[in-house]
Amino acid sequence: MEDKRSKDISHFTREFVEDLAREENLILLGAVDLNLDPFYYKKYLDWIKNGNQAGMSYMENYQQFRESPALLVEGAQSALIFAYNYFAGDKLIEVKKGPPRIAMYARLRDYHKYLRVKSENILKKLRIHSPEIRSRVFVDSGPFLEKALATKSQKGFIGKNSLFIHPELGSYFSMVEIFIDEKVVYDKKESVDPSTRSSLGGCGSCKRCQTHCPTGALSEDYVLDARKCISYWTIEHRGPVPKEFWPHFKQYVFGCDICQLACPYNRGASLTEKTYAQLGAHINLFEVATMDQDFYEKTFGGTPLTRAKKEGLQRNALIALFVTKDPRLEEAVSFLEKSTHLASDNLRETIRELTTTL
């Protein structure tokens, strides 16, 4: 039966959505259609073909959605894209000195749940005007090219650090998308060419993220090589970390913000809402290296650090104890060797590497 509701008429204005976003402490980045520029899909295919995804094989899945995000949701026509600021006030000069930190986004309460609730609140209010709207919320959960889709807003661009950058807001934000089966008034502005610098943004000749990246993970313009990225090794990788990356655990024990801290577009960033912070910048490395399941759940449950799992956090903490020459390393290693139930096979491999180095 034909759906009587016209899918081509927007039941709410852009300003209305902007106001709803503001009420939830979000920023409306864009209202876009779902026809992705083929340039970005081709770039993604090249990225995969060249092995830049490292061990993140899930990045190779669902290529049809990465090419055509509209296929993800039946009848989807548009995406409302929102940003949530996570800037916690870190400074590049301090970060480079150490001690090891956790990346800023990860100090926040589980943003997946938090941002989903905010998105549902927005949807409830949209339904007052459009009761039959069909929708789906994505918070880091959809296999589509989120940053490429955001460029359709023509409010920003993907920089040489491979992040979506808004010329006024910078890049310290998580993104949330609501796919809906209605057309809305789409953003139409001059598009941003990242290779030139204009009032709308673009990297131009800047290379600050590339020169500050400690591992050369950004040596090719606009390409992130996860095989060299500290965020990959400390968050996504399971098993021992190659020794060549250990020295960088002096700065970060989970994630890495250096290529954002170096970016001039982030100079004017404002702090995130204080109530949202859960963890500080630093963790007690000895406690984390030797933690049991109960400590892990109480300290890290509901935070993005669970992505690395307990053994990943223990591994990172042990390496950080080693590279910072912390006198508690030997005690931590000896404790774990005795308490075999606290160390998995992967962790034992790191312990073996450490004991041969000590």
Binding site for ligand SF4 (CB under 6 A): 159-161, 203, 206-209, 213, 215, 217-218, 224, 229-231, 256, 258-259, 262-265
Give which of 24, 41, 19, 58 is closest to 137, Cα–Cα: 24
Distance CA 207, CA 97 (A): 21
Is the CB of 108 or the CB of 332 nearer to ligand SF4? Answer: 108
CB of 140 to ligand SF4, least distance (A): 16
Residue 252 CB, nearest approach to ligand SF4 (Å): 7
CB of 194 to ligand SF4, least distance (A): 7
Residue among 140, 193, 292, 294 flagged as catalytic = 140
Question: Which residue type sits at 141?
Answer: S
Assigned token pair, 18:
């902007």
Task: Give the pairing type, strands 78-85 and 135-138.
Answer: unpaired
Q: How far is the CB of 197 from ligand SF4 (least distance, A)?
A: 8
CA atoms within 13 A on the CB side of 213: 24
Please write down the HEC assignment for all residues of 330-357: HHHHHHHHHCHHHCCHHHHHHHHHHHHH
DSSP summary character for residue 254: E
- Smaller CB distance to ligand SF4: residue 27 or 229? 229
Q: How far is the CB of 56 from ligand SF4 (least distance, A)?
A: 13
Q: CB neighbours (10 Å) of residue 63?
A: 14
292 is catalytic: no
Least Cβ distance, residue 102 to ligand SF4 (angstroms): 13
Q: For ligand SF4, which is the closer residue by CB, 203 or 332?
A: 203
Using CB atoms, what's the residue nearest to ligand SF4? Answer: 159
DSSP calls for 35-85 = ---HHHHHHHHHHHHTTTTTT-GGGGS-HHHHH-GGGGSTT--EEEEEEEE
Q: Which is nearer to ligand SF4, 20 or 259 (CB)?
A: 259
Q: Cα–Cα distance between 163 and 22 in angstroms, integer?
A: 23
How far is it, in rounded angstroms, from Cα 7 to Cα 160?
38
Of residues 139 and 263, the one with the C-beta less far from ligand SF4:
263
The DSSP H or E segment spanning 23 is: helix 14-23
Nearer to ligand SF4, 75 or 264 (CB): 264
* Residues acting as catalytic residues: 140
